[in-house]
Amino acid sequence: MTDRIPSTRSGRDGPLVRTVVHPEVPRPRSSEDNLLEVRRIRWSEDLLVVSATGEIDLATAGRLERALWGDLPAATVLDLTEVTFLGVAGLRVIESAATRAHAERRATGVVASTRPVLRLLHLFGVDAHVSVYQYLATAIREVSMAVPAPKP
């Protein structure tokens, strides 16, 4: 939006006019519904793929947490290839889900290919105790084979 404001100074052709540019008014942030989409795909009887698209931050991490909670099969793959932002709140959800899977003797893996997500997983050491894969097909194959045997 621009306004033309007459100046109090005058030139030989009349009053000088200057243009003032007003910055746009910031729009409110979209609701969490538009920031993150989470899908649960039952790949097989023993494998669940949870796919996230969008931003995982404090406002949206609960949606991911709900998808990774409840009665889960022997193996879970979390696909983050379409995640554009991963905040610490999302990282905590991933770590919590991985810790729970380990305690319940279930296999888990994460698929990530974008630099911001991979960097955060590495900086916080998540990749040291959760298998991280570049491709979904590889993760499905490897995690399915890594399902621990039931306790006697």
Per-residue confidence at 123, pLDDT binned at 50, 70, 90? very high
Q: Average pLDDT for residues 110-125, to the nearest whole number? A: 93
Q: Are 133 and 111 in contact (CB under 8 A)?
A: yes
Q: Average pLDDT for residues 22-30, to the nearest whole number? A: 59
- Residue at token pair 């889900």: 97
Tell me the pLDDT tens digit for each residue of 35-70.
899 999 999 889 999 999 999 999 999 999 999 988
Q: Average pLDDT for residues 118-133, to the nearest whole number? A: 92
Tell me the pLDDT tens digit for each residue of 79-111.
999 999 999 999 999 999 999 999 999 999 999
CATH no., domain 34-145: 3.30.750.24
129 — phi, psi (to 5°)? -125, 0
Which is it for the CA torsion 143, 146, 147, 148, positive or negative?
negative
Q: Which amino acid is at 108?
A: T
Does residue 2 surpass a pLDDT of 70?
no
Q: In the predicted model, what is the mean pLDDT of the chain?
A: 83
13 — phi, psi (to 5°)? -95, 10
